[in-house]
Structure 1
Amino acid sequence: MPLTFRKSFRILPGVRLNINKRSWSITTGGGKNGPRYTRSSTGRRTTSMDLPGPFGWRRTHTTKRH
């Protein structure tokens, strides 16, 4: 099993800095029943939301880097 590195820091209420081996990202929102917005250094933008029960919703948009 390969080793992975991932660390998440809460920098402000409702704002997290996520760091892994290849990139970093900022996540905002995600309060009680609210959507989470994530923007990555690789150009990926993700919106996700927990739905009632065992369901979840996620939409990811990746922009090409030049």
Structure 2
Amino acid sequence: MPLTFRKSFRILPGVRLNINKRSWSLTTGGRNGPRYTHSSTGRRTTSMDLPGPFGWRRTRRTRRH
């Protein structure tokens, strides 16, 4: 089983800083409503929990200059 590193810090209510060994990301939003994640690798994800066992996610990758 490979070892992984992932740590999440709550900065403010509704704002989290997520760190792993390759990148970091900032997530805003709470349990109710959409969540927006912006990663240092250029990935932007919007996700939302829907009623029941459903969820919705949209991921976009931006070009890095």
CA deviation string 1:25-55 (max 9, x = no partner): 0000x32421000000000000000000000
* Aligned pairs (5 A) from 1:25-40: 25-28=25-28, 30-40=29-39
Deviating beyond 3 angstroms after TM superposition, the runs of 4 or more aligned structure 1 residues are none
Give the length in aligned residue pairs.
Answer: 65
**Any gaps of 5 or more consecutive residues in structure 1?**
none
Helix, strand or coil for the counterpart of 1:10? strand
**Any gaps of 5 or more consecutive residues in structure 2?**
none
TM-score (norm 1): 0.92
TM-score (norm 2): 0.94
**CA distance 1:19–1:32, change in 2 (3 Å):** closer
The CA distance in 2 between the partners of 1:17 and 1:32, in whole Å, is 16
How big is the alpha-carbon RMSD for the aligned residues of Structure 1 and Structure 2? Answer: 1.0
**CA distance 1:33–1:64, change in 2 (3 Å):** same
The CA distance in 1 between the partners of 2:17 and 2:31, in whole Å, is 19
The CA distance in 1 between the partners of 2:36 and 2:21, in whole Å, is 21
